[in-house]
Amino acid sequence: MLTCLKKSGIPAGFILILFACSLMAATPLPAQERYPTVARLSFVSGPVTYSRGDDPGEWDDAIENVPLTIGDRIYAPEDGRAELQLSSGNFVRIAPRSYLTTLNLSDDIKQFYLGEGAASFHIRSLQSDQVIEIETPNVSVTVDEPGRYRIAVDEDGNSRIAVRRGRVMVAASGRQIAVENSEIRVYGIDSPRYEIVGLPATDAFDRWVTERDDRFERVYSDAYRHASDDIVGAEDLTEYGRWEEIPEYGYAWTPSRVAAGWAPFSDGRWYWQDPWGWTWIGNQRWGWATSHYGRWTPYRSRWYWVPVRPRTRVRYAPAVVEFVRVRDHVGWFPLHPRDRQIPWWERRDRQRNQPHITYVNRTYVTVINHNHFISAQPVHRHIVRDSVIVNEARSARFTSESLPIPSRSSLRIVSETGARRGHRPSANVLNRAAIVRTAPPAPPPTFQEKLTHIQKNQGKPVEPSTAAALASQTDRASANRVRTRPAAEQTRGGDFAPRNPGATSGAALQPLTEARGKKLATRENTVESKGSEREERAHKTPAPQQPAQPSSPPQSKGTASRPEPQKVQQPDHHRQEQQTLERQRQAQQQELERKAQLQQKQERERQEQLKEQQLRERQAQQQKQELERKQHAQQRENERKAQLQNRQEQERREQFRQQQIQERQAQQQREQELERRQQQQKREQDRNAQLQQRQAQAIPQPLGQQQAQEQREAQQVKRQQDRDRPQQLRQKQLQERQL
């Protein structure tokens, strides 16, 4: 090849470049890690406990917003209930006295094991390549379409599957049967027998499930008007905050009830969970969506959460923060919409000493001590306020220093009181095997088995491929591990058959097939050993497909002919091939009919959902109008009461004023009467004195004396008039005021 290129006149340097590029292109790229999804523990009521898959011997008190992954188990004792939230609005709700395990939580396969009790599965969305499978001690249940399902397991391992809406495939002992709009009861573990009956009446657990569903439906439209449907937990935002339009970022959400000086990622704890490493668990019920998706930005002295917009794919993150190390302290700050997150759980090398990288929210750093960080303690109790350390964290450069290495305490979530209930299922329940249709992944290795790799990689979490390699060396027969048994395994005398052979209700039994192209679990391969089908197809080179041909020995162009025995065996072989082709054709026809029926059902379901949505919208509009009417009526009533109170107050003031006037008038009248009596007495005295004086003067007197006497009398009359004039003036003024 090089000789030909030289003859073509191409320069030697360019030839070397082409040769090097060909070598680089021929080098296979490393396979990308496939990270599992998580299930959000969205609601906890009562003494619910859970056990991690990498620490199966311990049971801790369950709290809300804990992420559950492969191998995690949850137990709800008496008076306990729990709710798991998946993506796309799918929910799993657990009744009291129930035990559930997450066997698989990949993008396309969700597998749960119900070992005891009852669980409700509300599946709102199911993609064409997705599998949702629920295992029990005697059957495997595969959800075939969206709907509402309830599965119950009694103390003997018998199962009941109620299909209120949708369709499931129930499989055991190499056979499967379709169930819809009814309940199937399966008795026995080694020799399962089933019967199909009508749907049972609802109980208290069903009513609680309906209440939780109604709550989600009420807030769904408002919650996901501005956020992607893939964001789990966005429905909790409406109740605890409000959406506002801010410059540059459009509609964003802000919490309404937080403490003064609050900042994102300051009220919760850090928790170690592979394969992501350090994961944030917020104390607020609304803290899931705002901690694992979107970004935070300050605006006008408030914090606003900017979500990923609708119709956009999102990816779960253990926390949307960036870390910084300062001495023996660990700091972090929320990422801004303009910041790019470099996942610490996927970094091959933490060489981040790049001075050109800046972060907008760098000044809003939260710092705690290293020991408090790795022990999963509440952050708000241990925030460092030392200005020297905080300023150093705000200005420190990002270096290649690793994140803290976890300890055993990093896995434990201790309640506020420090007490642990430790409720767990009975040993009989834990020792039961799960009937699986699709091969689940192997149980995760324990934390102690992973700790060596974490320390070797300086705090980097264990990747899924490394965990799978360690899991292959784990003892699967441990009492703390869920044992599995394939549903495809056929046992002698243990066929999956009707309990009453004469009964004809329900669909017919069929041979067990793969669920949407996923590998069946077998006796030799009860767990995944090489990853999912998608991974295998990605690593394989696609080969051209040839049309199916009946197998026959090759013929040469010479005179050689087939041996005589093959001529004798050819008719039987040809008939078998024809029968196989006929069965395949019938199976294809049945599959086409099933798909057509499924499409019709989905169309009817969509129409019903549309009608229900329109009805809910009308009801919501009516409720809104009724609420507005009540508010207006209440406002008018308040205004009427206020006017009445004003009038009453005015009347009281007028009465008080009239009373004061009357009291003043009475006082004046009393004073006038007293003064009048005094004047009358004085006049009486004066008259008596004058009378006595006249009597004394009855004797004739000289003329001069008589004139003097008349003058004195005239003066007395004048003085009397002068004294009476003020009294008359006051009476006149009083009469004028009364008028």
Q: pLDDT for 114-145, tens place per residue?
A: 999 999 999 999 999 999 999 999 999 999 99
Instruction: List the Cα angle 399/403/404 in 5-degree steps.
Output: 140
Q: What is the pLDDT of residue 629?
A: 81
Rounded to whole angstroms, what are the CA distances from 404 to 269, 308, 373, 386, 461? Answer: 14, 30, 8, 21, 11
| Amino acid occupying residue 476 | R
Cβ neighbours around 7 below 10 Å, total? 8
Domain coordinates in residue numbering, the chain? 1-30, 37-223+413-531, 224-347+351-401
Instruction: Find out whether 495 and 175 touch, Cβ atoms under 8 Å.
Output: yes
Is the pLDDT assigned to residue 269 strictly greater than 90?
yes
User: Which of 282-291, 360-369, 565-574 bottoms out in mean pLDDT, i.e. has the lowest?
Assistant: 565-574
Q: Once rounded to an integer, what is the mean pLDDT over residues 683-703?
A: 74
Q: What is the pLDDT of residues 203-234, one digit of tens each?
A: 999 999 999 999 999 888 788 899 998 999 99
Q: What is the pLDDT of residue 16?
A: 36
Instruction: Find out whether 184 and 195 touch, Cβ atoms under 8 Å.
Output: yes
Can you tell me the distance from the alpha carbon of 665 to that of 500, in angstroms, rounded to the nearest whole number? Answer: 107
Tokens of 631: 């508010």
Q: What is the pLDDT of residue 144?
A: 95
Is the pLDDT assigned to residue 192 strictly greater than 80?
yes
Q: What is the pLDDT of residue 419?
A: 60
Can you tell me the distance from the alpha carbon of 539 to that of 541, in angstroms, rounded to the nearest whole number? Answer: 7
Sign of the CA dihedral with 290 first, then 291, 297, and 299 last: positive
Can you tell me the distance from the alpha carbon of 623 to that of 631, in angstroms, rounded to the nearest whole number? Answer: 12
The DSSP call for residue 201 is P
Q: What is the pLDDT of residue 332?
A: 95
Sign of the CA dihedral with 333 first, then 338, 339, and 345 last: positive
Sequence-distant (6+) residues with CB within 8 A of 35 are 275, 276, 464
Which CATH class name applies to 37-223+413-531? mainly beta
The DSSP call for residue 350 is -
Instruction: Find out whether 408 and 145 touch, Cβ atoms under 8 Å.
Output: no
* Top-confidence residue, 602 or 359: 359
Is the pLDDT assigned to residue 7 strictly greater than 90?
no
Instruction: Find out whether 36 and 70 touch, Cβ atoms under 8 Å.
Output: yes
